[in-house]
């Protein structure tokens, strides 16, 4: 069965967490990719599609606000 995470096992695992409403490992998975823009873009797109239709991002920002 095909998965948008392809052979990225970290991303596949994080997708399960995101569907369950957990963002902690998503944050870590994205942080690991700071120097690899292609991988960061891929993970961001896949995680965004997994989180679509949920309030995950809003809860994430409420719990871990960024400096403005």
pLDDT digits (tens, 9 = 90+) for 5-53: 889 999 999 999 999 999 999 999 999 999 999 999 999 999 999 999 9
pLDDT digits (tens, 9 = 90+) for 43-58: 999 999 999 999 998 9
CB atoms under 10 Å from CB of 49, counted, come to 12
Q: Domain residue spans in the chain? A: 9-61
- pTM of the complete model: 0.83
DSSP 26-59: HHHHHHTTTT-HHHHHHHHHHHHHHHTTSSHHHH
């Amino acid at each position: 069965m095909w998965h948008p995470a392809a052979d990225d096992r970290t991303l596949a695992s994080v997708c399960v967490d995101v569907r369950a409403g957990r963002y902690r490992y998503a944050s870590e998975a994205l942080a690991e990719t700071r120097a690899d823009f292609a991988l960061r873009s891929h993970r961001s797109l896949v995680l965004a599609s997994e989180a679509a239709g949920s309030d995950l991002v809003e809860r994430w920002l409420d719990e871990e606000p960024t400096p403005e």
